[in-house]
Copies of this chain bind each other. A is one copy, B any other.
Amino acid sequence: MDQVNQGAAPMAELWRGGVLESTHLGHAVICDAGGIVAQWGNPDAVIFPRSSCKMIQALPLVETGAADAAGLGEAHLALACASHQGAHLHVEMAGRWIADLGLAESDLRCGAHEPADREERDRLIRAGSAPCQLHNNCSGKHSGFLTVVRHQGWGAEYHEIDHPLQRAIRAASEEVTGETVSGWGVDGCSAPNFAFSVAGLAGAMAAFARAREGAGARESAMARLVAAMARHPELVAGEGRACTELMRAMGGKVAVKTGAEGVFVAILPERGIGIALKALDGNARASEAAVAALLVRLGALDPAHPAAVRRLNPVQKNWRGIETGEIRTAPGFG
């Protein structure tokens, strides 16, 4: 295992007026059942998956039977894997979910932040209302956490590192990556986030891609979560966002998920392939361009689809709509 700054390779570039203005380095790995099939940068670089591993963090929700006992549908599983933008759709669904559990918004431990969704943000400002924890992009994940906790009769502080839920997530993470955690940190939503190599995370995504319902509790849970994400792209992020637009562009055949600090993963069930990548500097424009490039390479994404073009080669426009530059994947990447 190496530090993330070891062996990063060029991933994406910003050009302006024919001059290279900025460059993003990073690491990317494509895995299948046999292991690594393609790599850029250093597969052994240790990264925090951040929100890209929400489908791993949701495994106990399905595997304990908590999801079925609570009567959750596929849409709930998608929201549990989401970094949503706090649009009315997301906030209302998380609120009903918590209420159906007989719990309150105050039982969440994710904290409140202003929603990324403009309509909901402006509604709050006009109403003079503060955002609540349901607006947090992780409120679906935390609703899933609460569902497990209530089902198992565990304690309320479910975000603490020694809580049985987090111990279960750590165990599941080590099982699907095939690695021992390389460290852990506190995420933006207060939940622990476990560090693994890029190759370990890509291997986990390949395991999700191979999973089939009926092939045991683990595989069934994996397959249900992948299907939920791929079939409900609007719940996993929101209008205009990379995850939502890319999943729609691939017609529900592929699940993709972003994570803070430049992480992106993809799960391709038809091919049994998983992707994980990290922009060394944490920039999403690089990780979005990179994941789109790898999906195109694998034949899963049409490079001419507007959602692909917006990530692969987005034209930068200024405040008067004038084209000023463009993002490109770096030579040799993808």
Contact = CB atoms under 8 A, between A and B. Distances in A.
A322 B18 contact: no
A251 interface: no
Contacts of A126: 125-126
29 contacts: A4-B21, A5-B23, A8-B23, A14-B261, A16-B186, A17-B183, A18-B185, A19-B46, A19-B182, A20-B46, A21-B47, A21-B48, A21-B261, A22-B280, A22-B282, A23-B281, A111-B318, A111-B319, A125-B125, A126-B126, A186-B324, A187-B318, A187-B324, A190-B322, A279-B281, A280-B281, A281-B281, A281-B283, A281-B286
A113 interface: yes
Interface string A308-334: 000000000011111111000000000
Given A23-B280, A195-B19, A185 B136 contact: no
A195 B325 CA distance: 14
Interface residues of A, number: 56
A135 to B, nearest CB: 10
Given A4-B20, A17-B186, 8 more contacts: A5-B20, A19-B195, A24-B281, A111-B318, A122-B125, A188-B318, A189-B319, A279-B281
A262 interface: yes
A243 B99 CA distance: 46
Interface in A257-315: 261-262, 279-283, 286
Contacts of A144: none
Contacts of A318: 111, 186-190
Contacts of A5: 10, 13, 20, 23
B188 A22 contact: no
A300 B283 CA distance: 31
Interface string A206-240: 00000000000000000000000000000000000
Given A281-B283, A283-B281, A318-B188, A48 B16 contact: yes
Nearest to A131: B319
Given A110-B319, A186-B322, A281-B281, A48 B19 contact: yes
A161 to B, nearest CB: 10
The 4 A-B pairs at the shortest CB distance, nearest first, are namely A111-B319, A17-B185, A16-B185, A281-B281
Interface string A119-144: 00010011000000000100000000
A25 B126 CA distance: 42
A3 interface: yes
Contacts of A281: 22-25, 279-281, 283, 286
Contacts of A20: 3-5, 46
Contacts of A110: 319-320
Nearest to A285: B282
Interface in A102-118: 109-113
Interface in A1-52: 3-5, 8, 10, 13-14, 16-25, 46-48
Contact of A18 (B4, B25, B113, B183): B183
